[in-house]
């Protein structure tokens, strides 16, 4: 009997693997199509879809005849288009916003989580849950006043408006706190007996041991900053102040007339950064998520 169970399990494994691999191919088709077509020239792109000689021809036409970086280069030089939106400025904006926001989020939320979780703090829990319940109120209410605040601060069309308003998420503190619960308190106490101050404990004991969840928070923060669409379109009026995400819509207006491959190339460019970050912290990813109690209950 034992053997048959093992064999049926093996069969299930093979079926699952095959089905998932096939599904993964379908899953990736749009991305692969965009990447491959971004290497075509515009005339080649149009030609590959104009004469329809059966499905096989069509599939073959997905592959570019040769790798051509022309559409990427002309995105930056602005060749042949009335350049209103500069992609290089947008890339720089996106990088500044996402990197600075990620760093600020990591510092302030890990410090808060440390205080709520590890310091003698009589009203700490009350404060935390108060903040938590306030964030459950949907963001649609706050987005117009947030614009007014940025206007009062003189931040309309200023990159500060993209960095600061988004840093105070409570969910990140929640994740960090739950991860900290899994680190024995004895470690703090041992350090304290050795004469370490609270800040030294935070820096030398807590931060190194919560590294996995810090990576997860970093990925989420970076992703949120990089991919935010609504807020930059509200607070930035100038095309060159947009981030890559919000600016792609402008580029679409600009290139939609005839330069399709440029658009596809810009889509590929905007995928790169979050993907690289995911690759670097993939090792910690599942572990970081699974230890947080938002998941375990």
Partner 1 sequence: MKRNTIATGLLLAFIVSFVLSGVTAVSTAKDVVVSTTVSHLASVYSLSSAAVLILPFIMVFMLMALLSFLAKQKNVGFMFTALSVVCYVAFLIAYCAETRNTSMYNTLNAMFQEQGLRVKKRDFFITVTPQWTCYLTVLLGLATCAVSLPDLRTSTTRYSLKCELEPYAYIAPHVLFFTLFTLVPIIYGVYTAFTKWDIYNEPVFVGLENFKTILFAQGNTYYGQLRNGLWNTVKFVLYNTPFGMVLPLALAMALRKVTRGNKFLQSVFYLPALMSTTTVMLAWTYFFRKTYGFAPNFFGTTFEWFAPPYSWLMLVIITAWWSNGTNMVIFQSSLASIPEDQYEAASIDGANAVQKFWYVTIPNMSYTLMYTFVTTVISHFNVYGQPNLMMGYNYEGANAVLMMYIKDTAFQQGVAGIASAMALILAAVIMVVAWIQLRMMMKDSKN
- Min dist CB 45 to partner 1, Å, is 7
Task: State the residue for tokens 């993939």.
Answer: 282
Which residues in the 80-139 window bind partner 1 by CB under 8 A? 107-109, 111-112, 114-116, 119-124, 127, 131, 134-139
| CB neighbourhood size of 173 (10 A) | 24
Question: 70 or 164, CB closer to partner 1?
Answer: 164
What is the signed CA dihedral for 40, 41, 42, 48, rounded to 10 degrees? -50
Q: Name the burial class of residue 51, with classes exposed (0-12), middle (13-18) and buried (19+) by CB atoms within 10 angstroms of its CB.
A: exposed
- The only residue of 144, 193, 194, 208 in contact with partner 1, by rule CB under 8 A: 144
- Min dist CB 172 to partner 1, Å, is 9
- Min dist CB 29 to partner 1, Å, is 8
Question: 50 or 66, CB closer to partner 1?
Answer: 50
SS3 179: helix
# chain residues binding partner 1, by CB under 8 A: 101
70 Cβ neighbours under 8 A, 6+ residues apart: 41, 261
Token pair of 84 as six digits: 């209103």
Question: 45 or 72, CB closer to partner 1?
Answer: 45
Token pair of 193 as six digits: 């007996």
Question: 190 or 286, CB closer to partner 1?
Answer: 286
* Cα dist from 27 to 78, 79, 229, 239, 282, whole Å: 33, 34, 24, 33, 20
Residue of 34, 35, 29, 65 whose CA lies nearest to 47:
65
Token pair of 99 as six digits: 């990197």
Question: 126 or 211, CB closer to partner 1?
Answer: 126
Q: How far apart are alpha carbons 213 and 219 in whole angstroms? A: 10
Binding-residue pattern over the window 8 to 47 for partner 1, x denoting contact by CB under 8 A: ----xx--xx-xxx--x--xxxxx-xx----------xx-
Token pair of 105 as six digits: 């989020």
Q: How far apart are alpha carbons 213 and 290 in whole angstroms? A: 9
Roughly what angle, to the nearest 10 degrees, separates helices 124-135 and 171-181? 140
- Min dist CB 119 to partner 1, Å, is 4
Binding-residue pattern over the window 234 to 273 for partner 1, x denoting contact by CB under 8 A: x---------xxx-xx--x-------x--xx-xx--xx--
- The only residue of 229, 238, 253, 280 in contact with partner 1, by rule CB under 8 A: 229
Residue of 276, 297, 265 whose CA lies nearest to 36:
265
Binding-residue pattern over the window 58 to 77 for partner 1, x denoting contact by CB under 8 A: xx--x---------------
- Min dist CB 140 to partner 1, Å, is 4
Question: 149 or 190, CB closer to partner 1?
Answer: 149
- Min dist CB 221 to partner 1, Å, is 13
Binding-residue pattern over the window 164 to 193 for partner 1, x denoting contact by CB under 8 A: xxxxx-x--x--------------------
- Min dist CB 83 to partner 1, Å, is 19
């Amino acid at each position: 009997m034992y053997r048959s169970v093992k064999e049926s399990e093996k069969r299930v494994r093979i079926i699952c693997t095959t089905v998932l691999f096939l599904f993964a191919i379908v899953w990736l088709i749009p991305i692969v199509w965009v990447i491959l077509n971004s290497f075509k020239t515009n005339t080649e792109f149009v030609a590959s879809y104009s004469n329809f000689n059966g499905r096989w021809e069509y599939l073959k036409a997905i592959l570019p005849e040769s790798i051509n970086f022309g559409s990427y280069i002309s995105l930056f030089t602005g060749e042949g288009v009335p350049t209103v939106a500069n992609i290089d400025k947008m890339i720089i904006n996106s990088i500044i916003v996402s990197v600075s926001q990620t760093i600020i989020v990591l510092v302030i939320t890990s410090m808060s989580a440390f205080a709520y979780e590890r310091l003698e703090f009589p009203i700490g829990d009350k404060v935390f849950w108060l903040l938590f319940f306030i964030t459950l109120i949907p963001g649609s209410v706050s987005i117009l006043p947030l614009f007014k605040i940025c206007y009062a601060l003189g931040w309309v069309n200023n990159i500060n408006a993209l960095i600061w308003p988004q840093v105070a998420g409570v969910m990140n503190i929640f994740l960090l706190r739950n991860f900290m619960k899994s680190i024995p308190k004895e470690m703090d106490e041992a350090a304290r007996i050795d004469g370490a101050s609270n800040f030294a404990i935070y820096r030398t004991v807590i931060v190194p041991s919560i590294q996995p969840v810090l990576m997860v928070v970093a990925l989420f923060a970076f992703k949120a900053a990089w991919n935010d669409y609504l807020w930059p379109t509200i607070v930035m009026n100038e095309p060159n102040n947009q981030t890559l995400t919000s600016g792609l819509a402008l580029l679409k207006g600009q290139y939609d007339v005839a330069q399709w491959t440029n658009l596809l190339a810009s889509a590929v460019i905007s995928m790169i950064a979050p993907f690289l970050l995911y690759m670097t912290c993939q090792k910690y990813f599942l572990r970081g998520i699974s230890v947080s109690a938002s998941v375990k209950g």
